[in-house]
Amino acid sequence: MSWYDPIIDRVRGRPPIVSVVPLRGVIGNLGPMNRGLTIDALAPLLEAAFRPRSVTAVALVVNSPGGSPVQSELIAGRIRDLAAECDKPVVAFVEDVAASGGYWLACAADEVRVTGTSIIGSIEVISSGFGFQEAIGKLGIERRVHTAGSRKALLDPFQSERPDDVAHLKAIQAEMHERFISWVRSRRGDLLKVDDEPELLEGKFWTGARGVALGLADGEGELRRTLRERYGARTRFRVLKRKQGLARRFGLAQSEWGSAGELPFAGWADGLIAAVEERALWSRFGL
């Protein structure tokens, strides 16, 4: 879309159109139900949001506690590529939370708007898990692992942690964290409050109002009200949603069924674990 198209539309009496892309949920694949935000799931929505010439702008509705750094980078990168190709402004509107990978996605926009009570920030990388080595011993279970490499069982939850393994993980986390920091700096630039930058980039999170003061967001504002003030009272909104079959919605995709129509007990177990992990991510922010 060239820069003068919105003017022509106004002359012809066409109302401005804003594509709305919901980015709600944990980022990454979440077990058999696959409810998470991934580039595979979102690519068609992003194409549909940006490509029409009639679209004036794209709004991202972000409500995510984070998740996969890989998927965060891929989704944000696709948003920036399409924004450049289609010459469309992008505005992110944060609902409850845009933290960690959620903030990575928000930074893909040209402008970030929040509510005063949103949660924003958490620029960090985290790995978590459990250690079961004592539990299986008490149950009389013998762990048998055979590898062709001495580090293949790195951080196995059924074995005691080794300092070298932890150091290796921390080195990977540091590299990812630096990549996250570089992305935020490239997108927010001089808007970040330099005096507070060490705190900004080390994992803390704030309310939306405080985030504005720190330069993590550009201001407060609700989607419809903000964009109608900007583009006119007649502005229309095209809300795009992911299509998901009933079977997959309940974790019963065809690939998860056993032979002869057996119920997918393993799939349900994976789904339960994914739900617990998802709940834990949201709980970090009191949600």
Position 253 scores a pLDDT of 45
Cα–Cα nearest to 188, from 110, 129, 248: 110
Q: How far apart are the first and last CA of the chain?
A: 39
Helix (H/G/I), strand (E/B), else coil: 32:
helix
CA torsion, ordered 57, 62, 67, 72, to nearest 10 deg? 10
* Secondary-structure class of domain 5-122+204-283 per CATH: alpha beta
Q: CB neighbours of 182 closer than 8 A, spacing ≥ 6?
A: none
* Half-sphere exposure (Cβ direction) of 203: Cα atoms closer than 13 Å: 8
DSSP state, residue 67: B
Helix (H/G/I), strand (E/B), else coil: 177:
helix
For residues 35 and 40, give the distance between their C-alpha atoms in angstroms, rounded to a whole number.
12
DSSP state, residue 44: H
Position 174 scores a pLDDT of 64
Position 9 scores a pLDDT of 53
Contact 201/194 with Cβ under 8 angstroms? no
Per-residue pLDDT tens digits for 88-134 = 999 999 999 999 899 999 999 999 999 999 999 876 555 555 555 55
Position 180 scores a pLDDT of 82
Position 18 scores a pLDDT of 98
Helix (H/G/I), strand (E/B), else coil: 238:
strand
For residues 201 and 181, give the distance between their C-alpha atoms in angstroms, rounded to a whole number.
7
Contact 57/231 with Cβ under 8 angstroms? yes
**30: burial class by Cβ within 10 Å (0-12, 13-18, 19+)?**
buried
**What residues in the chain have per-residue pLDDT under 50?**
1-4, 11, 245-266, 268-269
Per domain, the residue ranges of the chain are 5-122+204-283
